[in-house]
């Protein structure tokens, strides 16, 4: 997260995100997701939160 969340320039990249990119930006800031990911050491946390990755 940017140090100054009021600085609009820190969020300019949001303008170029597609829907899944925006969803990821929101999810990765979610405290519950962060805790779950850390507790599982990543194993299964993505699937539990409904994340899917292209192959």
Tell me which range, 9-13, 30-34, 38-42, 44-48, is most confidently predicted by mean pLDDT: 30-34
pLDDT surpassing 80 at residue 1: no
Map tokens 């303008």 to a residue. Answer: 15
Residue 3 confidence (pLDDT): 67
Contact 20, 53 (CB under 8 A): no
pLDDT surpassing 80 at residue 39: yes
Q: What is the pLDDT of residues 9-36, one digit of tens each?
A: 888 888 899 998 888 888 888 999 899 8
Contact 17, 25 (CB under 8 A): yes
Domain boundaries in the chain? 18-55
């Amino acid at each position: 997260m940017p140090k100054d969340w009021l600085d609009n320039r820190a969020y300019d990249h949001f303008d170029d995100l597609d829907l899944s990119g925006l969803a990821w930006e929101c999810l990765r800031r979610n405290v519950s997701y962060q805790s779950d990911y850390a507790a599982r050491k990543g194993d299964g946390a993505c699937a539990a939160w409904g994340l899917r990755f292209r192959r």
